[in-house]
Structure 1
Amino acid sequence: MGLEYHVAKNGSDNGQGTKQDPFLTINRAASVAVAGDTIIVHEGEYREWVKPKHGGLSDRRRITYQAAEGEKVVIKGSEQIKDWELVEGSIWKVVLPNEFFGDYNPYKEELFGDWVVYNPGRHLGDVYLNGMSFYEAEELEQLKNPEVKTETYDHWTRTTVSVVNPEQTKYLWYAEVDEKNTTIYANFHDSNPNEELVEINVRKACFYPEETGLDYITVRGFEMAQAATPWTPPTADQPGLIGPHWSKGWIIEDNIIHDSKCSAISIGKEASTGQNFRTVRKDKPGYHYQIETVFAAQHAGWTKERVGSHIIRNNVIYDCGQNAIVGHLGCIFSEIYNNHIYNIGIKREFYGHEIAGIKLHAAIDVQIHNNRIHDCSLGTWLDWQIQGTRVSKNIYYRNSRDLFVEVTSGPFIFDHNIFTADYALDNHAQGGAYINNLIAGKMAHFKMLDRSTPYHVPHSTEIAGFAPVYGGDDRFFNNIFVGKEGIDRVGTAQFNGYTTSLDEYIEKVHEEEGDHEVFNKVEQPVYINQNAYFHGAEAFEREEVKLEDKQFNPEVEIIDKGKEVYLSIELPENFESFLGDIHETDTLERTRLSDAEFENPDGSDVILNTDLLGTQKEGKSVLGPIANLKAGKNMIKIWG
């Protein structure tokens, strides 16, 4: 048993840190706690950036930071501002000396970095009125005519469209920074900012070590908010509002995390392996710098023994500009589950190619399950080296897109999920297994022959080779596909023309002489059987056993009642008589390019026999994510 330190608002940093004589700041406790110790923080608001100084030594010898049981503890990256001066109408200003911000002034720091596509001068600062985040104006004059024009960016046409959001057109801020002062202007409309709670974010993070390699830390039970986090691409340092900063074995659980300018929880890389070189140097594509980042990380000790293996569970994460959870390389071997993620990337003050509820690169053997993800610009985006990754029993709804998997060769598994966005699945990958999902939206399928990306020795960070994405080498079993009016590409018909076995593929490839070029001409095998297709969804032309009724409309609906979520779906009379097999390692063909089996992270056989609600199936079962789906009308509680 280690020591127990206490922190309270009536304490002193000159105290002993006991319950009777507590410290005043969490950082004071962080400076003395060592492996095995526990820091208990008592009720109150702590405006500080907690920077752990020591780490634990093993999973059993952790340093634990936790809110006192039954007490509300809030850590904020902001400061309250009371000295506002009325300028004209409802526009107020405050003048702050630059020393107020130290060496990090969010109202001077612009959002910047690789893969930022649209940013009309946005900064990392923000203004909050009673907890509500404002929008940054591009010019001071806009505060007099407070219409917020945001940009939506079409990934495929590379065009931007200005949109006025009528529900969020009122609250704008604008800042000017000179050599001595930072002046912030804000339109508060009917509110007097000196009589309300007005805050501005001033710190980069709320709980994030400055040093790397501080392992085995648990952070539990806090509310954390209002941090001026920077843009976090995979080719740069990736600080979040909270995160382990290139360490191993953190547990982040039972927290409420919100209002991070960019990313909330980061389990990503650090600066030494690359820092926005595409944007700074401009001499090579970001793709090349990302490859160099992978090798630089290997030279720096990117292994299971040094980094990753984090647990992120039971958190509520919302109102962040870029990600709820982000990570490149440092996310390996982690588990992310039972989190409620929403309102990510929906302010649209800026746009880039790294925005999603969960955005991970190189998520080797990462397990993402039982999460509720909704009202995000993109629910989950898994990119590069998605090998041994499993996304299981998650609920997606009201997202612009639900799932994007990109430039990877597998093996990876998506099973027993509910996808309901009109744009349900972006498949720019190969080597996946899609089993027992409900997919009520389109699935876009693309090849990526111009970007060869790494694959690995199974369950390892060791690189085994590189491959482009040829398309195919995917497995679709026991899914329910549901079409929607005006939405095309729902179902598996886009694989028409693909081979259906490795033997057939090899035979076709060798019908003509050649080497690598002949592999570009033949479609990889796909393994598709025992799926259901309703309301216009179309089946793969060579699917032998399927349930198909293009006219039948299941009328899929997700009913959100706050703490509880329900699935409403109607199924045809013959639904219960059409059963699918349970799939496991032995029934899922190995991936062609990475030459690996579908397995659990420990190398044991995977058996996909547990449904979204935790029911274990003993044999053949109905299709889709829930084992007790019936013919006719179903109303099933899926969360809460």
Structure 2
Amino acid sequence: MKTTIAVLCLAACAASAREYHVSVDGSHPFKTISAAAEVVQPGDVITVHAGIYRERVNPPRGGTSDASRIVYQAATGEKVVITGSEVLTEKWELVENDTWKVIIPNSFFGEFNPFADLIRGDWFANRKKLKIHTGALHLNGHWLVETFTLEDVMKPAGNDPAWFTKGDKKNTTVWAQFKGVNPNEELIEVTARRTVFYPENPGINYITVRGFILKNAATPWSPPTAEQIGLIGTHWSKGWIIEDNEVSYSACAGIALGKHGDEFDNKARSAEGYVGTIERGLKQGWSKEKIGSHVVRNNHVHDCGQVGIVGSLGSAFCTVDGNTIHDIYVRKPFGGAEMAGIKFHGAMDAVISNNHIYHCANHGIWLDWMNQGTRVTGNLLYNNDMDDLFMEVNHGPFVIDNNIFLTSPTIWDRSEGGAYIHNLIAGKIKFRPELNRLTPYHPAHSTEITDLVNTKGGDDRIYHNMLMLPGALSVYDDATLPVTRAGNAVIESASIVKKTDGVYLDLTVSRGDWGKEKRPMVTTDLLGTAKVTGLPFVKPDGSPYRFDKDFLGADRKGNMTPGPFSELKEGRQRIKVWPKR
């Protein structure tokens, strides 16, 4: 009887679900996404048709479960742009050389003027004390570079045309270099909104955002000790799906899975301050039942000033899969921390898989504090300025497997209790304990704090990796906690080749140099337990690991081949590594 009632309730919910259509030309009931958002209810769908929507979507409510979520989607096959910029129609006047000037009344921006809003916050380093704004000027869809003196912008334009701004109580004046074009005859836009798709209130759960071009936001700096506002963000909630979108031209963060805001935002720049942030997060509901478990997949994230995907605490229990992330923090007007393709704090039991990350002017993936139970698998990283992977003050267990890491230096290990399995590691590994910071560890699959300890370093398991530097693992010779190294092998060369149909890896292998070492299948039983936490290496759902698939999903059989591929030929070979499917 109970089963029958449940089925009838589900059927009734499905019957009551509605699909609302939005079109900017007025051919459907709603002309703005925001208007449709006001009426949509759990289980409903908003389908948005082709056009440019200049608005900030602030969902007033979310779904009630994964089965009864609210879906925002672009109509199939239609180009739908949601942007935080406005077209600038004021007349530009030529000053000299390639430099033009425009005066914009502050009323144009309303309550928020990004050209008067400075980037600042915890772990933000502005040593030259520059006035770096969240606003941006766009020429025909691409942003220009901010410069910081009128003298600089008056020079002839180089390869990266620049702009400079100065404002008063009534107007904002912008000088800009337009090389070989008249800005009065081109599409000129200025960012006018802080974010594009972001709920003002926390706890707006179970939302899907699918298939949009999301661009041009004056996002604030996103440290782990403040509310993290991305061009699109989840704002301390649970169960979002962000998929198949293009996210670009964010002043700071592209996609944010971050924490709530409170009176301590940007006032906790210390290890102790962040511990306080964690404790307040626990009081604000940080748990698997209430926060995280988002899915971020198959998005194209590029041209963000700070970070591609960020998350402090709210990234726990998430899946980040199949995304392409590039051109992050490449302009480098400031320093500090928090700059990476992906930067997570507290992403316990998260899975970061099958992502393509390159040309990030800091770290590719940076996992900082409490990434316990986290798995990084099947990712392709190269051409990142500092390294591909930075593991900072995590106590384990965590797993890094079947990745292609081609930047050198490749890995920065300031953690302990990790398992590095079947990776291609092209360059140097940096290893350094962290004895001066006490950082938390947790019960299995939980956000609760067990204790705080320093990071002695070591206790890693390094199995069946391909290395390009014969002595790459010697950095662990004097580790305080013993490091297991077995089944690793050296290859001659590895390089990326980009073609019209994808990305290829050129490998040169001398199998004869690998010896006759037996390489067993790596499993949970082989890995044992992390020393500090006392926990086994298991999947986020608690089931055991068996590393029987390679980078491309092929089965591993017999004596394990080192590196991310189950089979390799002798000598030079070319393997398509992106897209993977």
In structure 2, what is the Cα distance between the partners aligned to 1:53 and 1:527? Answer: 51
Choose which of 518, 523, 547 in structure 2 pairs with 1:584: 523
Paired residue type of 2:570: A
Aligned equivalents of 2:147 and 2:434: distance in 1?
38
* Correspondent of 2:547 among 581, 586, 608: 608
Say whether residues 1:113 and 2:52 are aligned partners.
no
What is the match of residue 490 of structure 2?
533
8 Å CA contact retained: 1:244, 1:266 = yes
From 240, 265, 270, the equivalent of 1:250 is 240
- SS of the equivalent of 1:107 reads helix
Q: How far, CA to CA, are the matches of 1:252 and 1:389 in structure 2?
A: 20
Aligned pair partner of 2:318 in 323, 334, 339: 334
Paired residues of 2:91 and 2:102 also in contact (CA < 8 A): yes
Task: Label 1:229 to 1:563 Cα distance change in 2 as closer, same or farther (>3 A).
Answer: farther
The separation in 2 between residues aligned to 1:619 and 1:294, in whole angstroms, is: 45
Q: Deviations over 1:296-315 (max 9, x none)?
A: 00111111111100000011
Map of 1:282 onto structure 2: none
Residue of structure 2 equivalent to 1:3: 18
Look up the SS of the partner of 2:317 in the other structure: coil
CA contact (8 A) 2:464 2:560 kept: no
- In 1, Cα distance between equivalents of 2:471 and 2:428: 4
Amino acid in the other structure paired with 1:28: A
- Find the counterpart in structure 1 of residue 77 from structure 2: 70
State the AA in 2 paired with 1:496: D
The CA deviation string for residues 521-548 of structure 1, in whole angstroms up to 9 with x for no partner, is xx212111111135xxxxxxxxxxxxxx
1:27 paired residue number? 34
Counterparts of 1:246 and 1:146, CA distance in 2: 46
Q: 2:262 aligned to 245, 262, 272, which one?
A: 272
After superposition, give the CA deviation of every residue in 1:184-241 in whole Å (9 maximum; x if it has no partner): 1111121111111111111011100101101000000000111000110001110000
Of 363, 388, 392, the match for 1:406 = 392
Structure 1 counterpart of 2:574, which letter? M
Q: Which amino acid aligns with 2:326?
A: Y
Q: Give, in angstroms, the shift of residue 112 of structure 1.
A: 0.2
Picking from 240, 243, 248, the partner of 2:230 is 240
Paired residues for 1:482-493 under 5 Å: 482-483=468-469, 491-493=472-474
1-side partners of 2:191 and 2:364: how far apart? 26
Residue 102 of structure 2 corresponds to residue 102 of structure 1: no
Aligned counterparts of 2:500 and 2:331: Cα–Cα separation in 1: 21
Please state how far the C-alpha of 1:579 moved relative to its aligned partner.
Answer: 5.2
Q: Among residues 200, 207, 225, which one is paired with 1:217 in the alignment?
A: 207
Which segment is superposed worse, 353-362 or 102-111?
102-111
5 Å-filtered alignment, 1:457-468, equals 457-468=443-454
1:496 pairs with 2:477:
yes
Count how many residue pairs are aligned between Structure 1 and Structure 2: 558
Alignment of 1:38-187 (within 5 A): 38-89=45-96, 90-118=98-126, 120-145=130-155, 167-168=159-160, 171-187=161-177
Q: CA RMSD in A?
A: 1.5
Deviation at 1:133, TM superposition (A): 1.3
Distance 1:319 1:582 in 2: 40
Distance 1:364 1:465 in 2: 16
Q: Which moved more, 1:401-410 or 1:558-567?
A: 558-567
Instruction: Answer yes or no: is the 8 Å Cα contact 2:194–2:218 preserved in 1.
Output: yes
Q: CA deviation at 1:562?
A: 5.0
Q: Report how far residue 575 of structure 1 moved.
A: 5.8
Question: 2:236–2:291: 8 Å Cα contact kept in structure 1?
Answer: yes
Contact 1:84 1:92 in 2 (8 A): no
> Helix, strand or coil: the match of 1:226?
strand
2:243, 2:298 within 8 Å by CA — same for their partners in 1? yes
1:484-523 CA-to-partner distances (Å, cap 9, x unmatched) read: xxxxx9511111134xxxxxxxxxxxxxxxxxxxxxxxx2
Contact 1:575 1:631 in 2 (8 A): no
Distance 2:501 2:230 in 1: 27
Which runs of 5 or more residues in structure 2 are unaligned? 1-13
Aligned AA for 1:458?
A
Q: Distance in 1 between matches of 2:68 and 2:191?
A: 34
Name 1:388's counterpart in structure 2: 373
For 2:137 and 2:55, locate their aligned partners in 1 and report how far apart those are by CA, in whole Å. Answer: 17
TM-score normalised by the chain length of structure 1? 0.85
What SS does structure 1 have at the residue aligned with 2:430? strand
In 1, Cα distance between the equivalents of 2:410 and 2:286? 33
CA drift of 1:82 comes to 2.5
Query: What is the correspondence of 1:310-325 to structure 2 with a 5 Å cutoff?
Result: 310-325=294-309
Q: Which amino acid aligns with 1:136?
A: E
The 3 A distance-change label for structure 1 pair 32 and 174 is same
Contact 2:318 2:350 in 1 (8 A): yes
| In 2, Cα distance between equivalents of 1:256 and 1:300 | 31
Give the match's secondary structure for 1:277.
coil
1:617 CA displacement? 1.5
Gaps of at least 5 residues in structure 1 are 12-19, 148-165, 279-284, 484-488, 499-522, 535-553
Mapped to 2, the partners of 1:391 and 1:451 lie a distance apart of 24
**What is aligned with 1:624?**
563
- Check whether the contact 2:198–2:232 (CA below 8 A) recurs between aligned residues: yes
Distance 1:626 1:146, change over 3 A: farther
1:173: Cα distance to partner?
Answer: 0.8
Following TM superposition, by how much is the alpha carbon of 1:102 offset from its aligned partner in structure 2, in angstroms?
Answer: 2.2
Partner of 1:197: 187
Q: Is the 8 A contact 1:441 1:490 kept in 2?
A: no
CA distance in 1, matches of 2:106, 2:272: 38
Q: Is the 8 A contact 1:111 1:124 kept in 2?
A: yes
Q: Give, as a single letter, the amino acid of the residue that structure 1 aligns with 2:241.
A: I
The answer (yes or no) to whether the contact 2:92–2:183 under 8 Å persists in 1 is no
The aligned counterpart of 1:513 is none
**Inter-partner Cα distance in structure 1 for 2:253 and 2:558:** 42
- Conserved in 2, the CA contact under 8 Å of 1:443 and 1:490? no
Closer/same/farther in 2, CA of residues 563 and 332 from structure 1, 3 Å limit: farther
- Tell me the TM-score normalised to structure 2 length: 0.94
| Counterpart Cα distance in 1 of 2:66 and 2:85 | 32
Q: Secondary structure at the match of 1:99?
A: helix
1:135 deviation in Å? 1.1
Report SS of the residue matched to 1:141: helix
1:494 partner SS? helix
Question: Residues 22, 623 of structure 1: CA spacing in aligned structure 2 closer, same or farther, 3 A cutoff?
Answer: same
Native 8 Å contact 2:228 2:260 kept in 1: yes
C-alpha distance in 2, partners of 1:371/1:222? 19
CA distance in 2, matches of 1:193, 1:313: 37
Please state how far the C-alpha of 1:414 moved relative to its aligned partner.
Answer: 0.4
Given residue 95 of structure 1, which amino acid in structure 2 is its aligned partner? I
Question: 1:554-569 alignment to 2 at 5 Å?
Answer: 554-561=492-499, 563-569=501-507
Contact 2:435 2:456 in 1 (8 A): yes
